[in-house]
Amino acid sequence: MISSIVIVALVVIALILIRSTGAGESESNNLMHSLRDMAVLQGEVPEQTALPTLIVAWNTGCPSCVHELRHLKEHYDALQDSVHVVAVNLTRTERNLETVEQFLAEENLPFTVLADKEGELTEHLTFRFIPANFLVEPDGELIESQEGLIEVQTLRNWLR
């Protein structure tokens, strides 16, 4: 009798913890909500569509990141009908936001650029190096990922 009461009590406590921590929510769905909550530095956050989203984590002090953003800019016209490109600046790793804004004014990137001021991206996606690339379904489910420069052909292969 006592063991049944203990088991019921443990189940109730577990259900309360799951509900209060949001563990019952889809982690991938939380990723897309986090993107929508980040400050928009340039462009617009893509609306929910059937297209997947390429998320690129970057900062201005990373030469490879700058190279990748320029490379994606160069190929954007050929990619825009098959994938949303969202560059997420890891703003907490920057000296200041003005550096990012100056970079964006000079580069005139054709895709959305967000500022991750609170480190939200790292709560949803794991990476050690930048640039870090993540292809996600419209619901936020991770399809593919790669740390380091991504070639356009690799991205096209991911989209097949």
CATH number at residue 62: 3.40.30.10
| Residue 6 included in any domain | no
What is the predicted pLDDT for the residue at 106? 96
| Tens of pLDDT, residues 54-75 | 999 999 999 999 999 999 999 9
Side-chain half-sphere CA neighbours of 81 within 13 A? 2
| Residue 4 included in any domain | no
- Which residues, listed in sequence order, are joined to residue 115 by a DSSP beta bridge? 39, 89
How buried is 6 (Cβ within 10 angstroms: 0-12 exposed, 13-18 middle, 19+ buried)? exposed
Sites in the chain below the pLDDT cut of 70: 1-29, 48
| Tens of pLDDT, residues 101-110 | 999 999 999 9
Domain of 30 in residue numbering reads as 26-159
How many domains does the chain contain in total? 1
pTM above 0.85, yes or no: no
| Residue 53 included in any domain | yes
| Residue 8 included in any domain | no
